[in-house]
Structure 1
Amino acid sequence: MKSSDPIEMVEEAPPRTDIRAADLPEEEQPGKVEVAPQEHDPAVVRRFLWKCDIRLIPCLGLMYLLNSLDRANLGNAKTDGLEKDLGLVGNQYNQILTYYYIPYVLCGPLFALITRLITAKYSLTGMMLVFGAFSIATAFAKNFAQLLVFRLFIGIFESGFLASVVIYMSGFWTRADIASRIGLFFASNVIASAFGGLLAYGTFQINDTRLRGWSYLFIIEGSLTVFFAIVMGLYIPQRLTSARFLTAEEKAAGVARQLSDSVAEVDSDFSWKEALIEMKNWHTYLRILISFSVAVPLASNNNFLAPMVARLGYGTAKTNLYTVAPAITAAVFLVAFCFSSDRFRERGYHLCAVLTVTIVGYVILITIDTSNLAVSYFALFLTTVGAYPVSPLFAAWCVSNLPNMNSRAFTIGVILPMGNLSGFLVSNIFINKEAPRYITALRVNLGFAILAIVLCFTYGTWMRWENRRRDRVHGRLTTLDNHGHGQEYITDGVLTAKDPRFRFMA
């Protein structure tokens, strides 16, 4: 530990200066690792960010687009007669969606830890190969049992995908700029909804008696997934320090940024003790509840946007085509909200804002008659625009407040898949006999959107209060560079949010 590292502490009254982290009482120094001052050359940092942005985000976005297509294509296939072709009766379609989420939730933490151990370069591409192959196999399903088996395997290998990508991205971007990057990456999920609708529209025009239209949809999307899994396995780097597109100077700047505002240690060894440390923290369980609440409207849009558009009374082709505009609009708003979140270094209140849009949409859908097509379609825009930004904003919120890479990997691997428990609920609230209005589903989505706003507002407000309390008790810790510039939030040597040097990003 370098006792000479300058750390300035500023307190409201009386002002205090030249106080080091080492001067804090021993019990207030978890880890006893002092923050080293880092000087970031702005030009080098700009080059580092630019290279990471143009090299990684398009690749990760494409990978997630394919993941989203393979996850949501069942909804498109439903509009082309999948239920009739496979002889599904009663609520068997809903059962398929329900059973899919069982391995999706249970296997998420496992794959997140695998990502931490072997890096996302291998875990992500391996997952893509397998769920792409089973997506192709789905095209040849003959009955309920076969479809169920194929979807279960897709659920297993898709379970840790989003968490693994978020963990991977957090190794390149700091918590000050990761929301916008997750937003750009996650926009591919929204675009997948639009592209999936266009692809389904084109595929369903195929007149071939050998296979059904929806079978071609699974073959095309699964084949694209397998092909790009191989390509990305050869292209993306394992981690920041091994990225060949970065110079040594740029790697050093990237590592310095990580230590000053994102993680306690870069390229640390795996530790079970550190991985499980956040499971003793009440924050984790509150975040799981928020994750579930915000995921209900999103899961509804992912799986039932096409059936909801069907309430407008159009045929199969137009129904899929009309899902495109809401999805594209949502992608634009998603990116805008995420950039705003980074600009203001704020997460919770941004989540409240987008959830308010969702609530307005569901209130309109509940109160108006289905014969009012224009207003119904506008309300679907609102529910879609409000649903999609919540996932990247919430993922960035969680990552921003988990400074240890081991605990981050395991905790994110638990929180995000646990949010997908919403799939169990969503797959059973869209009741066939209530089609096309689905009034039960609308009311449930409205209720969870309101709950999510209450939780996000309360949690974000508490974080602000706690930051001010720590400033009063411990002073405001600031690392200084050689030019006197400071970094308010520090993470070097900080293992948990309980460390008095840590400040939450609310």
Structure 2
Amino acid sequence: MSGDLDIKADMGTETKQVETAEGASQELVYDKAAEGRLRRKIDLMILPTVCILYLCCFIDRANIGNARIAGMEKDLGMVGYDYNAALSMFYASYITFELPANILCKIVGPGWFLPLLTVLFGACSLACGYVTTGPQMFAVRFLLGVFEAGMLPGVAYYLSRWYRRSELTVRLGAYSITGPLAGAFGALMASGILKLDSFAGVSSWRMIFVIEGVATIVLGLIGFATLTDRPETARWLTAEQKHLAEERVRSERVGQTKVLDKIDKKKLLLGIRNPITMSTAVIFLFCNITVQGLTIFMPTIIKSIYANYTVIQQQLYTVPPYAFGLVVTFLVPMFASIYDRRQIFIIMSAPLGIAGYIIFLATKNTTARYAATFLIASSSFSLGALTNAQVSANVVSDTARSSAIGFNVMLGNIGGLISTWSFLPFDGPNYPIGNGLNLATQTGTLIVASVMLLWMRRDNVKKARAEEEELEKIQGLSAEEQEDLDWKHPSFRWRE
């Protein structure tokens, strides 16, 4: 049989034919109404907290861009490439701790781990408001990267414990919209904060870090009370709902007898070595050169377009592109979930970014260049949800999923490190090198995603032809050995 589920709707129930660990077919019947009520309850209890915590994460990472145009560099004595170096310090630690953090998230439990990280990176943001030199800012940004490293992969991994493959993409989209939302909201907050005379003994750009850091710490503390690790420990689910929550997720995992397995080195490596994980991580790397660059340098880009405007006006001009990107970032994962397809939507996102950067390179007209920021924002932010959903869909076990998502985000954020050096002072005010680099990454996304879609379809045909013979070869393996096959199980198919 196929590795995907055979789903039949009849009289308000769903009947699913799934593979057990021994390769036998088992019929599982669900009440669709009961499952709908469960899904809505999970959405209500899990998604708001996750979205708010990730919003804090993105704001605390990006607020340095708002502080920059409000006088931070001059006050700290930062010159030349010091600003780029401060950004790089964040990504140096962020990339290093990405994969270990997601494995630690599995060990500790997301319900405790994610709120703890939020409190810690909130404290780092707060500390940024009290630094007095460039090197001190470098050090605090390095610590910020350590504590933020586990958030993006941790949230994606956490949601995969609760949702089916087709449901996961739109939920990842729900928290991914916090990226453009953070850009818009952060700019509005910065504009409002800069109108204050002082706060907690600081003034000017320092208030941005202090006020947003305090808010993050408070929300992180609230997260300890509102997040729970997994369905089994959720006090707000009945016994029947807990069973349904686990069974519906397990039913999509070929050859698995349980949703949460113990950490296994073999499956950790399978999650990383998965062809879809590796190719999707390259796409996410390309994506992050654009997303992180846009997030950090958007105020600088807007300043180059509207050089004669006030600082507050420049801050406010960064809001509309983010707002437009927010809408697209929600709609694209929603349609990807409806059709249970991710790869084609990854492919479709690239042309908008390509068009945007061609405009940046082709004209100095301010109206056209500002319009280009809308195209770029709409093309990139949704890829965070799509790529993490894609690697999650193409592994089987919980352990492999934690390493696959961790690797995707880790490699992806090398793109974030590259982005910190994409818009350099000597390249301004039109930044042809930075825009050319981003045009190349958008084109790379289109090529890699298209090639991998063709490869998946071709390999699935080969797998189907050889399935019966391969199933006979594993009949003598124990249930545990068959679980360890993960995506190499004969009945597994690549999910587009």
1:211 to 191, 202, 227: 202
Provide Cα deviations, 1:89-134, integer angstroms capped at 9, x if missing partner.
Answer: 1100001111211110011111101110111111111111111111
1:124 matched residue in structure 2? 114
2:285 to 267, 271, 292: 292
Match of 2:395, SS?
coil
Match of 1:267, SS?
coil
1:239 to 230, 251, 255: 230
In structure 2, the CA distance between the partners of 1:206 and 1:241, relative to structure 1 (3 Å rule), is same
Distance 2:464 2:172 in 1: 30
Is residue 138 from structure 1 mapped to residue 144 from structure 2 by the alignment?
Answer: no
1:441 matched residue in structure 2? 434
In structure 2, the CA distance between the partners of 1:275 and 1:449, relative to structure 1 (3 Å rule), is same
Identity %: 26
1:251 matched residue in structure 2? 242
Distance 1:279 1:373 in 2: 44
2:89 matched residue in structure 1? 99
Give the letter aligned to residue 343 of structure 1: I
Distance 1:182 1:285 in 2: 20
Distance 1:418 1:32 in 2: 35
Alignment of 1:139-158 (within 5 A): 139-158=129-148
1:271 matched residue in structure 2? 264
Deviation at 1:298, TM superposition (A): 1.0
Deviation at 1:428, TM superposition (A): 1.0
Residues 307 and 436 in structure 1, CA contact (< 8 A), matched pair in contact too: no
Alignment of 1:417-496 (within 5 A): 417-474=410-467, 493=483, 495-496=485-486
Deviation at 1:238, TM superposition (A): 1.4
Is residue 82 from structure 1 mapped to residue 76 from structure 2 by the alignment?
Answer: no
In structure 2, the CA distance between the partners of 1:20 and 1:48, relative to structure 1 (3 Å rule), is closer
Residues 99 and 403 in structure 2, CA contact (< 8 A), matched pair in contact too: yes
2:54 matched residue in structure 1? 64
Deviation at 1:54, TM superposition (A): 1.6
Q: How many residues align?
A: 466
Q: Where do 5+ consecutive residues of structure 1 fail to align? A: 1-6, 9-18, 23-30, 476-491
Alignment of 1:311-390 (within 5 A): 311-313=304-306, 314-369=309-364, 372-390=365-383
| TM value normalised by structure 1 | 0.88
Distance 1:400 1:171 in 2: 12
Provide Cα deviations, 1:118-176, integer angstroms capped at 9, x if missing partner.
Answer: 11111111111111111111101100111011101000010111000000000000111
Provide Cα deviations, 1:267-305, integer angstroms capped at 9, x if missing partner.
Answer: 222223322233444444333322212221111112111
Distance 1:21 1:143 in 2: 60
Match of 1:497, SS?
helix
More displaced stretch, 280-289 vs 350-359: 280-289
Distance 2:195 2:84 in 1: 26
Distance 1:333 1:494 in 2: 38
Residues 65 and 192 in structure 1, CA contact (< 8 A), matched pair in contact too: yes
Deviation at 1:21, TM superposition (A): 6.6
Distance 2:407 2:155 in 1: 14
Residues 276 and 410 in structure 1, CA contact (< 8 A), matched pair in contact too: yes
1:410 matched residue in structure 2? 403
Deviation at 1:36, TM superposition (A): 2.9
In structure 2, the CA distance between the partners of 1:64 and 1:276, relative to structure 1 (3 Å rule), is same
Give the letter aligned to residue 195 of structure 1: F
| TM value normalised by structure 2 | 0.90
Distance 1:21 1:361 in 2: 46
Distance 1:326 1:281 in 2: 35
Give the letter aligned to residue 182 of structure 1: L
Give the letter aligned to residue 131 of structure 1: F
Residues 293 and 449 in structure 1, CA contact (< 8 A), matched pair in contact too: yes
Distance 1:115 1:80 in 2: 37
Deviation at 1:375, TM superposition (A): 1.5
More displaced stretch, 57-66 vs 268-277: 268-277
More displaced stretch, 425-434 vs 224-233: 425-434
2:9 matched residue in structure 1? none
Residues 135 and 219 in structure 1, CA contact (< 8 A), matched pair in contact too: yes
Distance 2:454 2:405 in 1: 22
1:160 matched residue in structure 2? 150
1:38 to 25, 28, 32: 28
In structure 2, the CA distance between the partners of 1:20 and 1:424, relative to structure 1 (3 Å rule), is closer
Give the letter aligned to residue 139 of structure 1: G
Give the letter aligned to residue 133 of structure 2: N
1:497 matched residue in structure 2? 487
Alignment of 1:19-34 (within 5 A): 32-34=22-24
CA RMSD of aligned residues (A): 2.2
In structure 2, the CA distance between the partners of 1:308 and 1:502, relative to structure 1 (3 Å rule), is same
Residues 48 and 251 in structure 1, CA contact (< 8 A), matched pair in contact too: no
Match of 2:488, SS?
coil
Distance 2:19 2:166 in 1: 23
2:297 matched residue in structure 1? 304
Distance 2:483 2:155 in 1: 24
Residues 114 and 154 in structure 2, CA contact (< 8 A), matched pair in contact too: yes
2:472 matched residue in structure 1? none
2:12 matched residue in structure 1? none
Provide Cα deviations, 1:237-289, integer angstroms capped at 9, x if missing partner.
Answer: 11122112222222222112111225732122222332223344444433332
Distance 1:35 1:305 in 2: 53
In structure 2, the CA distance between the partners of 1:157 and 1:33, relative to structure 1 (3 Å rule), is farther
Deviation at 1:455, TM superposition (A): 0.4
Distance 2:485 2:340 in 1: 21
Residues 127 and 161 in structure 1, CA contact (< 8 A), matched pair in contact too: yes
Distance 1:278 1:231 in 2: 33
Give the letter aligned to residue 38 of structure 2: F
Match of 2:177, SS?
helix
Deviation at 1:493, TM superposition (A): 4.8
